[in-house]
Amino acid sequence: MYIQLNDEQKMLRDEVRRFADEVVKPIAKETDEKGIFPTDVIRQAGEMGLTGVAVPEEWGGAGMDVISYCIVVEEISRVCGSTGVILSVNNSLVCDPIMKFGNDEQKELFLKPLAAGEKLGCFALTEPGAGSDAAALRTTARRDGDDYVLNGNKVFITNGTHADVAIVFASVDLALGHKGITAFLVPAEIDGYSHGIHEYKLGVNGSGTTELAFEDMRIPAAFRLGEEGEGFKVAMSTLDGGRIGIASQAVGIAQGAFEEAVQYAKEREQFGKPISSFQAIQHYLADMSTELDAARLLTWKAAWTKMNRKRFTLEAAQAKLYSSEMAQRVTNLAVQIHGGYGYIREYNVERYFRDARITEIYEGTSEIQKMVIANWVLNQG
């Protein structure tokens, strides 16, 4: 197997790294501390094609491949986890399912502006009583003539505060369990759509997490994404792609923390010499570097599988599980190498440590990834 980025991917990485260092990084601390949604950064990212990386150009995207998408999320997350997840959600949880399940009218109306960064999307699956057990959702969609009428509540919706479009999952018949779940494209300005509280979180504070409430929200049947009852599969296959995005986010956060730790270890002197000369610190850095490479390779393998095979459920779950847990270990060691300075806000590793934590939770917890992997190993392999 030959593992090397091609020239286009290398150019993209350099361009996105420059954008991340020059535009995203200078405001990353403030984005986190004040919980500010980085609207202007996302607008600029859209102009660069980063809001629809793998969407074909005819539908408003950059027309690149899935590994390029991983590079974008990693490079942005290397300086700001909040901006990383905002882009990941728009790319893989919103543009991707419209590409896959949408018809041409829906692509024209929704995908084009979302991929071009003129609009922002969110993915409304989770409910107060339906987190890991996504099929237990209670939002309903009642058919009424040419419309559906939706009622229900969603929680923990990333981008929810600023999204113009939500992909909403609701049941046309609760008695059918997951076979009743149906996906809808919902413009946020529609009557009956409202935001609940804006959540204050441990990390990724700029990503605008909110509740959504739908009260007698009338959606044209033309905005149904896929068939009635196909929504659970839309959600699950979309999350397979989303998990590659979160794996990339975890790799990016860990990479950022690692670079800060290497720099600090070279500069910080104790006992009359740089702490990088101590074997304990060297072993930490060796472990961090090795685990980072392993996670990145698993993530790119999942991306490669997505580009080459119909199902990539196993590879995406493995990449997300390993990368998110790696990010905990690497950011933890980055704090440890910084000692007391790692625990204060002035140093970025404190933010990386907090931002890494959510990667083990959203888009399927580590426990859910293990369930998916075990199911694949035992029943599908």
Q: Which residues contact 150 (CB under 8 A, 6 or more apart)?
A: 139, 140, 141, 168, 170, 184, 186, 192, 214, 216, 217, 219
Whether 380 contacts 345, CB under 8 Å: no
Q: Which is nearer to ligand CAA, 353 or 362 (CB)?
A: 362
Quote the least distance from Cβ 144 to ligand CAA, whole Å. 27
Q: Which is nearer to ligand CAA, 89 or 225 (CB)?
A: 89
- Where does this chain bind ligand CAA (CB under 6 A)? 85, 89, 93, 123, 125-126, 132-135, 158, 178, 232-233, 236-237, 239-240, 313, 362-364, 368, 371-372
Any idea what DSSP says for residue 380?
Answer: I
The answer to whether residue 108 is catalytic is: no
Determine the 3-state secondary structure of 124 from DSSP.
strand
Angstrom distance (rounded) from CA 320 to CA 315: 9
Angstrom distance (rounded) from CA 224 to CA 185: 6
Q: Which is nearer to ligand CAA, 347 or 376 (CB)?
A: 376
Quote the least distance from Cβ 91 to ligand CAA, whole Å. 12
Angstrom distance (rounded) from CA 36 to CA 80: 12
Quote the least distance from Cβ 51 to ligand CAA, whole Å. 15
Q: Which is nearer to ligand CAA, 260 or 355 (CB)?
A: 355
Q: Which residue in 75, 291, 325, 363 is the catalytic one? A: 363
Quote the least distance from Cβ 180 to ligand CAA, whole Å. 11
Angstrom distance (rounded) from CA 145 to CA 168: 20
Please provide the size of the chain in residues: 381
Residues with catalytic function:
363
